[in-house]
């Protein structure tokens, strides 16, 4: 089943500026989808995931001994946060949060038997895909970049105001904060692209999602060539405070930022092209 996709104005005449029309349609889809992301039934799971690292940092900083340790040795505190960031935020919270958001962009509509309403709209399938991906990226970034920022705030509370001001503006701490936030955003873009494709091509996306998690989890054991076929390798290459991957890890040269950042953008573009091809040939079947 497919709906009309002609690019027409409200009066039915061909539009001379299709890009302007597509932009308005994308924004309309984004507004509609964001309401579902933040207020729908599936949002509770996302809020729980986003709050997990913040609650952990709150628990640590409210322990008097740990808070004093963070205050006296902030270098050690930075290492502890880097371990929490990579182990909990990037590899767990962000991974499963993006899986929940992006796999449900189309698969969730099929489960709810509502996808045909979108396909009946006079909107190109590629425009629909772009609107849904952008809405997922905005929702994931708001939650997980916000989770990263909230965790950093909890970490800095242990130091007090004067020390934090000096660290952020005189000792390069602000650049470190921006790096963590930027990595979280790139992770949302990269994992979002992967899970969008999984949701489009697989009837049961849980199996390939678990396979992807297994691949990302054993990334430190893989040879350097295979390490690069993953999202977490490029995220790990960008972290401002490197963390040891353990005694069994196979060492690989970090991919420089000038390659990693365009790589995420290229990945998202390729996925949108592939997803557009898939959605144009998609037929709705609610059976099974």
**Section 258-276 average pLDDT:** 83
pLDDT band at 202 (very low <50, low <70, confident <90, very high): confident
What pLDDT was estimated at residue 285?
Answer: 66
What pLDDT was estimated at residue 135?
Answer: 94
**Percentage of the chain with pLDDT > 70?**
87
* C-alpha count within 13 angstroms, C-beta hemisphere, residue 24: 10
Q: Report helix angle 125-157 to 74-84, nearest 10.
A: 150
**Section 244-270 average pLDDT:** 78
Whether the CA torsion 67, 69, 71, 76 is positive or negative: it is negative
8 Å CB contact between 232 and 216: yes
Prediction pTM value: 0.86
**Section 2-16 average pLDDT:** 47
- Report the alpha-carbon distance of residue 87 to residue 241 in Å, rounded: 13
What pLDDT was estimated at residue 11?
Answer: 45
What pLDDT was estimated at residue 270?
Answer: 85
What pLDDT was estimated at residue 94?
Answer: 93
8 Å CB contact between 233 and 227: yes
Pick from 64-73, 89-98, 205-214: least confident: 64-73
Confidence check: pLDDT of 149 > 90: yes
Confidence check: pLDDT of 225 > 90: no
What pLDDT was estimated at residue 40?
Answer: 80
């Amino acid at each position: 089943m497919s709906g009309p996709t002609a690019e027409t104005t409200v009066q039915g005449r061909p539009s001379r500026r299709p890009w302007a029309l597509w932009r308005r349609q994308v924004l309309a889809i984004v507004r509609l989808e964001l309401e579902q992301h933040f207020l729908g039934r599936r949002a509770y799971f996302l809020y729980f995931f986003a709050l997990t690292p913040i609650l952990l940092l709150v628990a640590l900083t409210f322990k008097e001994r740990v808070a004093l340790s963070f205050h006296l040795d902030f270098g050690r505190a930075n290492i502890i946060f880097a371990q929490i960031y990579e182990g909990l935020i990037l590899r767990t919270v962000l991974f499963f949060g993006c899986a929940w958001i992006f796999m449900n962009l189309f698969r969730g509509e099929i489960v709810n038997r509502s996808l045909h309403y979108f396909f009946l709209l006079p909107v190109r399938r590629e425009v629909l895909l772009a609107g849904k991906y952008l809405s997922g990226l905005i929702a994931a970034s708001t939650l997980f970049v916000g989770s990263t920022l909230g965790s950093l705030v909890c970490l800095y509370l242990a130091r007090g105001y004067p020390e934090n001001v000096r660290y952020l503006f005189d000792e390069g701490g602000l650049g470190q904060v921006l790096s963590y936030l930027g990595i979280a955003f790139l992770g949302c873009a990269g994992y979002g692209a992967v899970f969008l494709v999984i949701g489009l091509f697989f009837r049961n996306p849980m199996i390939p999602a678990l396979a992807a998690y297994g691949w990302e989890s054993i990334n430190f054991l893989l040879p350097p060539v295979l390490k690069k076929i993953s999202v977490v390798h490029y995220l790990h290459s960008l972290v401002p405070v490197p963390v040891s991957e353990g005694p069994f890890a196979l060492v690989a040269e970090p991919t420089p930022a000038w390659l990693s950042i365009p790589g995420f953008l290229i990945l998202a573009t390729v996925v949108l092209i592939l997803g557009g091809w898939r959605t144009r040939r998609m037929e709705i079947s609610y059976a099974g």
